A and B are shown apart, each in its own frame.
Chain A
Amino acid sequence: MINSLFLINHSGDIFLEKHWKSVISRSVCDYFFEAKEKAIEPENVPPVLQTPHHYLISIYRDKIFFLSAIQTEVPPLFVIEFLHRVGDTFLDYFGECSETVIKDNVVIVYELLEEMLDNGFPLATESNVLKEMIKPPNILRSVVNTLTGGSHVGDTLPTGQLSNVPWRRAGVKYTNNEAYFDVIEEIDAILDKSGTTVFAEIQGVIEACVRLTGMPDLTLSFMNPRLLDDVSFHPCVRFKRWESERVLSFIPPDGNFTLMTYQVSSQNLVAIPVYVKQNISFLEAGSCGRLDITIGPKQTMGKTVEGLMVTVHMPKAVLSVNLTATQGTHTYDLATKTLVWDIGKLNPQKLPNLRGSLSMQTGVPKPEENPSLNIDLKIQQLAISGLKVSRLDMYGEKYKPFKGVKYLTKAGKFQVRT
């Protein structure tokens, strides 16, 4: 399966390589660099490349290319999904997934990679199992280790791999037993010029943070599970129970994890929390343009819209902007031609407005297309689909845990065409 892995930074240096079978020379990456050159943008590098002797499957995340070399047929998604899992593991261990942090912890990284694949086939990818074998670094432990000569490799043998519940480590103990669930919904929408919804759907995710002693068996039920159109679960969720009773029944992993993701489709009416009135025009003659954006609340269910932000990718011809905002701050990045207007809280009494002129390069014909606006927003304490958790029951353990549910609505890929 996966033969070798190369980590490559933004400027094209290979800063880590790991081989699970015979060594593949790093010169194989030249084919990748060629493709990268051609693609210009890193997002446009084809994830799968064919070279005379190898296949290269790569992902791009956090400004790092994870490039794997493969010799035989393998489902590409298998590799892609695994590479992302590697990235997730780094994130889990070091708090970020960047070149510096990987270089600083190169030994741990290497040990992790060694455990995650055996002969190119995934072995241990559950974070709980890995953490039993290889302790994540933290300041206190590294101080102690330097003093006592201790190590970050777990001295107990990893039993998690043997368990029937590979995602949960055994013998968990907490003094405060608590289980928190965040229901986070993102609105994906495309609005057209006139504000009509071209496409809208709600993507939801339930992030859980469970710190419970022992082997608790949880059951989470909803007030209105029929809203959910499509779901995908963490492997711990018992699918049959969901099918028959529409409840989530599971033995949770320890710590943070994504319990489920769901979709509320466009068949139901998706509430759009804000409306945008915009007018962007480029004048034919006088190498300038005009911009006027107003945002107002639409269907907010009585909650305040926060963290409102508008991002506009301007055409190349726009040299600078001269704008005034009634609320918030705006910046224009000349290199990427991105206008960002950070509004903050939306005040329904006094609608935020951004207006002014754009100065354009002279002698260049006016741009064909008006740039589209990407909206970012947050609404606390609200799941826009109306999904509600009705109760959480625990079986298998005696104590009474502290339970909490939080709702949050965000804008996902929320785009207004102009």
Chain B
Amino acid sequence: MSTSSAFNDEKGGSSSVGEPEYGHDPASGGIFSSDYKRHDDLKEMLDSNKDSLKLEAMKRIVAMIARGKNASDLFPAVVKNVACKNIEVKKLVYVYLVRYAEEQQDLALLSISTFQRGLKDPNQLIRASALRVLSSIRVTIIVPIMMLAIKEAASDMSPYVRKTAAHAIPKLYSLDPEQKDQLIEVIEKLLADKTTLVAGSVVMAFEEVCPERIDLIHKNYRKLCNLLIDVEEWGQVVIINMLTRYARTQFLNPNINESLLEEGGGGEKTFYASDEDEDEDEEKEKKAEAVTMAKRKPYVMDPDHRLLLRNTKPLLQSRNAAVVMAVAQLYFHLAPKAEIGVIAKALVRLLRSHSEVQYVVLQNVATMTIKRRGMFEPYLKSFYIRSTDPTQIKILKLEVLTNLANETNISTILREFQTYIKSMDKDFVAATIQAIGRCATNIGEVRDTCLNGLVQLLSNRDELVVAESVVVIKKLLQMQPEKHSDIIKHMAKLTDNIQVPMARASILWLIGEYCEHVPKIAPDVLRKMAKSFTNEEDIVKLQIINLAAKLYLTNSKQTKLLTQYVLNLAKYDQNYDIRDRARFIRQLIVPTEKSGALSKYAKKLFLALKPAPVLESPFKDRDHFQLGSLSHLLNAKAGGYQELPDWPEAAPDPSVRNVEVPEWTKCSSREKRKEKKVEKPFYSDSEGESGPTESADSESDSGSGSESGSGSEDSRSGSESDESKEASESEEEEEEEEEDLKKKKKKKNEEKQLKKPVQESESEQSSEEEVRKPERKSKQNKSESESESDEDEESESESSESESEDSEDSEAELKKKKKVAPPKPAFKAAKKENKKEKKEMSLLDLDDFEPAPSPQVTPVNTFLSNSLVTDLEGLSLSDAALMPATIAPSSALKSYELLHRITGEGLSVEYCFSRQPFSPDANMVAVQMHFTNNSTSDTKSLHMEDVKLQSGMRVKEFPEIELLPAGETATAVMGIDFCDSTQAANFQLCTHTRKFFVSIQPPVGELMRPFFMTENEFKKEQGQLMGMNEITEKLTLDVKCRNEHTIVQKVTTAANLSRVPCGSDKECSTPPPPPPPKHPIYRFAGRTVTSSSLVLVTVATKDEGAAQLTVNCEKMVIGTMLVKDILLALTQ
């Protein structure tokens, strides 16, 4: 006993320190006995029959453990109580066991049988807790027992026990790494688990045991993506990080075109340069070929890649900073360039969190800003520094600000820096000066301004500031010394005052380097320095020698003696570096018989042109570490870090991710919880149904079981309803521009024909492409008709983006549809019919097959028209909610001139009605003012005065713009309550020198704001606004605006109204080929801003462009004016 306790004392080194501890020295038996005494009462209590005494004893013991005291000698007494009935005593015994079992392996074995019993308990929680403690006891001898228990638990009924099993895996692995193979089997089994409870834990086990076995993920990839949103937050982080790595090995670089361009250029260069190495050349050639091939072939994102991006995006809204960061790094490493922007907002949000979170986030933002500056530019102001921020946060923010600086925002950033320089925090000031230096080197335009600013700092009272400025100025001057001899002179004068060695050294180096620019002062400085040489710091002494040498070479007449003097002083210096330097320099510059050829070149040696230093961010190239990782933060590889692999050159086979039957979707437990969450049932259903549709299209019926790219299919079926609109739209357009398009159509058909045979032989991937193609085509048609020539890449990414959004939105809709839809068999039958039709059509009409109506759309359209017409009405609510987001902002804001450049003496002001809610006062119309200072001088204190208004009108002035520098622009928002009249608001626009009378008169369409109502509500309201309140006008639509899109756009541009979603009498459900049999009616609704009176607009189209415009409004004046405006807009 005594030996074992001694052994423990040694091992449990965490005891000691603080309070006196008995039995510390095992050699002295007396103390040992007192130790025995001390714990005697505890042992007695543990041996007693009373639970309350046991509990008391255990509590004291746990308190000892918590304080880091050694309680190992109580082990035998404690372990006896492992079978205690009292649950709390039991728990505390577990705590004790886990802590000390490793040190008392033999005794710990006594407890094992209890746990083994627990593993068989009917209650899942007891089973789980038994496994948990059993696996936490680090006793090598029970490894086989643990292995067995884990295997058994992995196939337990209860997901909670399975989760515990997943947790136990890394524990066992760390205890005995030889069990790896067996454990991988268990992991593989658990990875196939379909519950969210297990997913996070098993991926964690995977990461710790076998992160290299990426092949285990294939089959579970889609499941993990789909479960992700419901996994608990900690599991989400682990899964996302793992999936980032997975995606890097399995998918193609979405930015391939961009990076290839760079690479391709580089490749060519080497191609010409290295003539000797022919093998390499060939390889290069091949590569170059591949490059051009890849360029020709547009990049298509793997649907699984898209699935990952789509399913992680909502998690940016998580409350857990680690989850947000994980998604952000995933997007940064995996998303196409155009989509990365979404993460910026979420990361900026994290800056409100705890300072530790800020610290980590800012480090990552700093790295991101170097690679992709654009995405954080809109949030520049969020990185402004407060005096209350901790210094380390300030410095990181400064880093981000510097990285964000460019030609357009540099002036604001520099102004911000100016306030920072005055800070009391000197470390921060020094960092700011360095930041200014970096801005100056990066942005040529402001170099002189920065330099001047820094020179002004030289007269600062704080020595640290001056010193730091000197160092930075030195670096800047090195870039263009000839222009700045006066600055060098100024700095030479500073040597009398500045004491900071680094600064003195910098000045001396500058003078020496550019002594030709300051021929008179330089010898004088050397004279002074020679005087004080002995008292200088080493670094300064070295520079004095340096200066002497350079002057001797350029101006030996004046400085010969001085140099000799300095060198003599240095010869006897205490520091051997300085002695060596002196000796070395003397040999070089002073010609003697012995000195060899080198002294001839002394001038070249010393006065060679030195390249200017590059001021670089310390965060450059940090992104080769996975962002958000510990390794990234430390900028060094941490133990266990998994490298982020490079993108593969060719995509590995995507079919490995296919699963036979989508069983996993039956995640029954979640369904209950998220009844309204459509996800799972939606995925499972659509897969069964849209599978055949797809195969029909690609004419390979074999794909019935395969569910290649379930994700994309979902999105397809999800966006169909949206697409149908588009399709019908493009249909109309086509009619009008048939001639233009005819040729193109033919071409496309030809292409189609050519492609047919290939398709059949190709695997799912091609079918996948095929699915996407029609959509792209319709998009293209649209863009063509709008006579916009989008770049290929752009339109592509656009379409994919819209697709993902659509699908998310419409999932909910679809679910609703499903609820009310006729029973499934009928649905399927309809589908099948369509499928047949489809097939026939594509077989027969190969020659004049119209590409525009996308093949998938047709079946669903008919389906919609048949069974869901009525349901659409119910859906319209959610439609309406989407409307404002899509239509209102898209109509370009018209801006009006408030002040012309000439009358404003260089100041020009434009305004537009931003149609945003004016937050300080809901009754006001927001007017966005855009000031441009075209003059050469600054305009100061721009504000409003002397507002003259009609009675009842009110104005909320824009905040005063203190300074508008020459050539700059600024925006401000003011609010005006027009009282529902088109009376102008007159006021004076004042600058520090002048006043201008201006007035803002609103078009009537801006006096209202959108109001959402259903069609039925609309009709009801319209019925109440008849007679005097209704104004009707007949018109002939302009040729160009006879389609839905243009009409809606024209009306919403003319007036701030929202579209009333179309119900039964709108042709969204008609199959595309025949022309619309009925004439659509478009309805728009809004309310006036001040009095909230309803404004209802109806445009009913008729044959040959004829139409009838009806406006119903309580306010007759507004109604009449609105009719005029809309009429003008539609007939123009």
Residues of A that sit less than 8 Å from B by CB: 1, 13-19, 21-23, 25-27, 41, 43-44, 46-48, 50, 55, 58-61, 70-78, 80-82, 84, 106-107, 109-111, 114, 118-119, 121-123, 125, 149, 151-153, 155, 157-159, 161-162, 164-166, 188, 190, 192, 194-199, 201, 203, 217, 224, 226-227, 229-235, 238-241, 243-246, 249, 251, 258, 261, 263-264, 266, 268-271, 299, 301, 313, 315-316, 365, 367-372, 374, 385-386, 413, 415, 417
Contacts and interface: CB of A to CB of B under 8 A. Distances in A.
7 contacts: A18-B66, A47-B356, A82-B322, A110-B62, A122-B232, A162-B159, A240-B679
B78 interface: no
Given A81-B321, A111-B95, A245-B878, A368 B460 contact: yes
Given A76-B630, A196-B959, A119 B171 contact: yes
Contacts of B13: 25, 27
Contacts of B63: 106-107
B630 A266 contact: no
B384 A80 contact: no
Contacts of A417: 387, 419
Given A48-B634, A153-B91, A368 B918 contact: no
A106 B62 contact: yes
A166 B744 CA distance: 57
A369 B809 contact: no
B610 interface: no
Given A72-B638, A121-B167, A196-B959, A386 B919 contact: yes
B881 A386 contact: no
A198 B384 contact: yes
Given A114-B95, A199-B381, A369-B422, 11 more contacts: A17-B67, A17-B68, A71-B640, A75-B630, A77-B357, A159-B125, A217-B675, A235-B318, A240-B808, A240-B812, A244-B808
A371 B423 CA distance: 9
Interface centre among B197, B360, B884 (most CB of A within 10 A): B360
B160 interface: yes
A369 B461 CA distance: 12
Given A121-B204, A368-B461, A23 B639 contact: no
A243 B314 contact: yes
A59 B636 contact: no
A266 to B, nearest CB: 6
B642 A240 contact: no
A217 B677 CA distance: 13
B34 interface: no
B1080 interface: no
B174 A21 contact: yes
Nearest to B882: A244
B237 interface: yes
A17 B919 contact: no
Nearest to B51: A149
Contacts of A118: 132, 136, 164, 167
B392 A230 contact: no
B237 A75 contact: yes
B88 A241 contact: no
A73 B419 CA distance: 39
A263 B349 contact: yes
Contacts of A70: 630
B87 A44 contact: no
Given A72-B638, A232-B349, A244 B319 contact: no
A46 to B, nearest CB: 6
A330 to B, nearest CB: 19
Contact of A149 (B52, B348, B809): B52
Nearest to A396: B675
Contact of A264 (B170, B811, B813, B919): B919
Nearest to A53: B639
B62 A224 contact: no
A188 B92 CA distance: 47
A73 B630 contact: yes
A415 B321 contact: no
B728 interface: no
B657 interface: no
A48 B629 CA distance: 12
B260 interface: no
Nearest to B325: A77
A151 B201 contact: no
B641 to A, nearest CB: 4
Interface residues of B, number: 135
Contact of B961 (A84, A196, A249): A196
A159 B317 CA distance: 28
Contacts of B352: 188, 203
Given A17-B14, A55-B638, A121-B167, A162 B158 contact: yes
Contacts of A195: 960
Contacts of B50: 149
The 9 closest A-B pairs by CB, nearest first: A72-B640, A164-B673, A149-B52, A369-B422, A43-B390, A151-B88, A153-B88, A73-B641, A47-B356
B124 interface: yes
B55 interface: yes
B67 A16 contact: yes
B318 A161 contact: no
A232 B234 contact: no
B92 A107 contact: yes
Contact of B673 (A111, A251, A368): A251
Given A73-B630, A244-B808, A271-B920, A372 B321 contact: no
Contact of B124 (A47, A162, A229): A162
Contact of A110 (B95, B237, B922): B95
Contacts of A203: 352
Contacts of A153: 87-88, 91
A416 to B, nearest CB: 10
A271 B975 CA distance: 12
A152 to B, nearest CB: 7
Nearest to A263: B349
B359 A47 contact: yes
B677 to A, nearest CB: 6
A61 B360 CA distance: 17
Contacts of B197: 162
Contacts of B360: 47-48, 76-77, 80
B295 interface: no
B387 A372 contact: yes
A234 B761 CA distance: 49
Contact of B91 (A44, A111, A413): A111
A341 to B, nearest CB: 17
A17 B66 contact: yes
B12 interface: yes
Contacts of A16: 66-67
A274 B872 CA distance: 50
Contact of A151 (B86, B318, B392, B678): B86
A41 B390 contact: yes
Contact of A269 (B86, B878, B919): B919
A77 B62 contact: no
A191 B923 CA distance: 27
A238 B917 contact: no
Interface in B319-365: 319-322, 324-326, 345-346, 348-349, 352, 354-357, 359-361
Contacts of B314: 239-240, 243
Contacts of B52: 149
B812 A269 contact: no
B387 A313 contact: yes
B147 to A, nearest CB: 16
A59 B324 CA distance: 19
B390 A269 contact: no
B772 to A, nearest CB: 23
Contacts of A368: 422, 424, 460-462
Nearest to A194: B962
B676 A249 contact: yes
B233 interface: yes
Contact of B68 (A26, A76, A316): A26
Contact of B320 (A76, A81, A241): A81
A127 B390 CA distance: 31
